[in-house]
Amino acid sequence: MDTEGTIRTVMRELEIDTSGVDGGTRLREDLQVDSTELVEIAVALERRAPVALDTDEILALRTFADLVTYVDNAPRRA
Amino acid sequence: MPGVDPLNGRCSIGVDIVDVDRLRRMVQRSGDQMLDRLLCPAERDLVYGARGLRWDSLAGRVAAKEAVRKVFGSRGSMPRWRDIEVETGPHGEPVLLLRGDAQTLADTLGFQRLLLSIAHEKSAAVAVVLAM
């Protein structure tokens, strides 16, 4: 599965409604995802993919596209 | 008095509220990895009581960290989450401890004190941080 698909799956599993989400969708303002949810998304993504995600970098992301790009470029775990 | 600012613009306030049950569901889904990201090692011990994890205490700490981030965010800075630690003072009161770059940011912004108050009941925890 591609990065965007994985993120959408994770968000749905965490009961975050991803219908109508596109790259410009804002995580906090539009999806009403708060800091603890972003941390939970990071944990869930690390369980699904061999990536290392930094808590503070995740918290600084603004849009869904930012999240996809960040995960795409995140360091890979061995 | 209009036009007089005795704190010379160095006073900021932040507040946050955390839904205790919602946080409990998140941590129960995500386990220790979530706690490791939310808490400093020393805080891990403080949120456990005789009957296990004290969810209200965890929620209070999360709210406090978010309130601190709002204080700094209002000045265009953002400390790292785990550089913000909530300790317990001698009278049981919550005390903020900034580590690493967070303390440097506070110094740069002229914050000499960070005051924290936390309140919680069964469903929610609220934290207020005053920086001056």
The domains of chain B, with CATH numbers, are: 12-131 (3.90.470.20)
Q: Determine the pLDDT at residue B49.
A: 84
Positive or negative, the Cα torsion across B32, B77, A64, B126? Answer: positive
Complex-level ipTM: 0.86
Buried b (16+ CB within 10 A) or exposed e, B20-44: bebbeebbeebeebbbebbbbeebe
Using the predicted structure, report yes or no on whether residue A4 has a pLDDT greater than 60.
yes
Distance CA B111, CA B12 (A): 9
Q: Determine the pLDDT at residue B72.
A: 96
Q: Determine the pLDDT at residue B81.
A: 95
Is the residue at A78 inside a domain?
Answer: no
Q: Which two tokens stand for residue B7?
A: 């704190």
What's the gap in Å between the CA of B32 and the closest CA on chain A? 10
**β-strands B84-88, B94-98: how paired?**
antiparallel
Is the residue at A62 inside a domain?
Answer: yes
Q: Determine the pLDDT at residue B51.
A: 87
Q: Which contiguous run of DSSP H or E holds residue B119?
A: strand B114-120
Contact state of A56 with B37 under an 8 Å Cβ cutoff: no
Whether chain B has a CB inside 8 Å of the CB on A16: the answer is no
Q: What is the CATH number of the domain that holds A69?
A: 1.10.1200.10
Q: Determine the pLDDT at residue B8.
A: 62
Q: Determine the pLDDT at residue B10.
A: 73
B14 has which bridge partners? B129
Q: Determine the pLDDT at residue B65.
A: 97
Select the residue of B30, B34, B78 nearest A60 (Cβ to Cβ). B78
Is the residue at A15 inside a domain?
Answer: yes
| B59-111 pLDDT per residue, tens | 999 999 999 999 999 999 999 999 999 999 999 999 999 999 999 999 999 99
Select the residue of B23, B69, B82 nearest A36 (Cβ to Cβ). B23
pTM given for the model: 0.90
| B36-54 pLDDT per residue, tens | 999 999 899 889 888 899 9
A53 has which bridge partners? none
Range of the domain at A62: 3-73
Q: Per-residue confidence at A77, pLDDT binned at 50, 70, 90? A: confident
Residue A18: strand, helix, or coil: coil
Q: How many domains does chain A have?
A: 1
